[in-house]
Amino acid sequence: MTEWPIATIGGVCRVYSGGTPSKGNAAYWRGSIPWVSAKDLKADRIFDAELCISQRACEETAAKIAPSGSLLVLVRGMGLANGIQIGEVTSPVAFNQDLRAIVPPATVDSRFLLLALRHGLADGGNSVLSSAAHGTLKIDANALRQIEFPVPPLGEQHRIVAILDEAFEGIATAKANAEKNLQNARELGESLIEQCFENHVDQSFLPRELAQLCEFIVDCEHKTAPTQGEGFPSIRTPNIGRGKLILDDVNRVSHETYVSWTRRAVPRPGDLILAREAPAGNVAVIPEGVQACLGQRTVLLRPKRDVFHPEYLAHLLLQRSSQTRLLAHSRGATVQHVNMKDIRAFEIHGVPPLERQLQVIDALAAVEVACEKLLESQRKKIAALDELKKSLLHQAFTGQL
């Protein structure tokens, strides 16, 4: 292993913050200098931004210019929950106070420094992240300055950058292909599911509203249940998967709350729970042995057992064409929600007899198993490519490349 000198960001680089010009001064925002914020820090190379400011703004406010060859690092905001965000400035830009500019000396190639930081913060930045007020994530200024990185000769830096850039380009192409295959596998699964239903449509079953085909459809309580460590599961929208309940992290309520919340209808195995929002449209069947009540934004459906097998109705409501129709009238600017009137009026047609419904359920189970194998193979490829990238970074910055 090659021994290289070790430097710290604060020891050899200039580090400084940006700022936001007053929005009340229109002259500050009539210019051609890109003003970078967290939402613009999405790529390795930075040269443009959604907003621009004037030279006057840079001279009269806390906004500063990051020169070509510097790095911009996000140091505050929930974007840090997805890992450290760093970009190399390839054309001068201004930036706000949530970012820090790092200007390396002539002896450090900026692209090399970016890759070195990616390697040093491969843990997602856990070593330098902390929480600010209200839980906002941040990188402390001192922690940023104390980050260490190796400094090989400039020629070696250029060699490492050239090798990694070529390798990462190949990895990016392979990952894009695997992600496309992942999407294709999902689409194939949805297509096969649609086909299962189309192959078993009973034309003699006349269209009817969902409310006519259920014993009842009951909206949930419109309040948050007091939770406790033990008791009856309280089903919220995160607990409603696609066909099945997810009870690993379910809230629990007391017997008193359970009795109060089930006074209109006691949920029982074979009933369906539908999410009205967050995300709207998910449906799950209550399994045997589960005694639960419903939390906010959920709906209880009890299908008529002489019409539906519960799993068949759940699959029917989850298929792509049904979801499109169910959510067609959803409302909400930020969060989609479905009205009870639209749920009750949802039109069902072509339902086969119960014995054929069981055939559909078996066919759908086989499709799901086959598609999951395809999906898992692509997920493994993507994970392997991510690990390869980490391995190359490790080799590069420990002198083994």
pLDDT along the chain (401 residues), means of 10: 84 95 94 94 91 95 94 89 88 95 96 91 70 76 90 94 94 95 91 90 93 93 77 91 89 90 91 90 94 90 96 94 87 78 93 94 93 93 93 87 76
In angstroms, the CA 209 to CA 345 distance is 5
Give me the residue spans of the domains in the chain.
6-151, 155-200+352-401, 202-347
Mention every residue, 6+ apart, whose C-beta is less than 8 A from residue 385: 171, 174, 175, 178
Q: Which amino acid belongs to residue 193?
A: I
Convert 172-222 into a string of H (helix), E (strand) and C (coil).
HHHHHHHHHHHHHHHHHHHHHHHHHHHCCCCCCCCCEEHHHHEEEEEECCC
**Residue tagged 């600010």 (tokens):** 132
Q: Which fold has domain 155-200+352-401?
A: Helix Hairpins (1.10.287)
Q: What pLDDT score was predicted for residue 223?
A: 74
Phi-psi label, residue 95: left if phi above 0, alpha if psi -120 to 50, beta otherwise: beta
In angstroms, the CA 191 to CA 367 distance is 10
Record the tokens describing residue 372, joined without a space.
């999951």
Record the tokens describing residue 266, joined without a space.
């006691």
Mention every residue, 6+ apart, whose C-beta is less than 8 A from residue 268: 286, 302
SS3 244: strand
**Residue tagged 């902390």 (tokens):** 130
Nearest CA to 113 among 69, 51, 155, 74?
Answer: 69
Mention every residue, 6+ apart, whose C-beta is less than 8 A from residue 25: 57
Exposure string for 210-223, b = 16+ CB within 10 A, e = fewer: beebbeebbebbee
Q: What pLDDT score was predicted for residue 2?
A: 63
Cis before 279 (ω within 30): yes
Q: What pLDDT score was predicted for residue 334?
A: 67
Same fold, 6-151 and 202-347: yes
Which DSSP symbol is given to 124? S
Within the chain, what is the greatest distance between any pair of CA atoms? 80
Q: What pLDDT score was predicted for residue 124?
A: 59
Q: Please check whether the domain covering 6-151 is classified as CATH 3.90.700.10.
A: no
In angstroms, the CA 268 to CA 257 distance is 17
Exposure string for 245-275, b = 16+ CB within 10 A, e = fewer: beeeebbbbeeebbeebbeebebeebbbbbb
CATH number for the segment(s) 202-347: 3.90.220.20
Record the tokens describing residue 330, joined without a space.
């959803």
Q: What pLDDT score was predicted for residue 133?
A: 62
Instruction: Write the DSSP assignment of 37-99 as a string of letters.
Output: -GGG--SSEE---SEEE-HHHHHHSS-EEEPTT-EEEE-BSGGGGG---EEEESS-EEE-TTE
Phi-psi label, residue 276: left if phi above 0, alpha if psi -120 to 50, beta otherwise: alpha
**Residue tagged 């970016």 (tokens):** 114
In angstroms, the CA 41 to CA 51 distance is 13
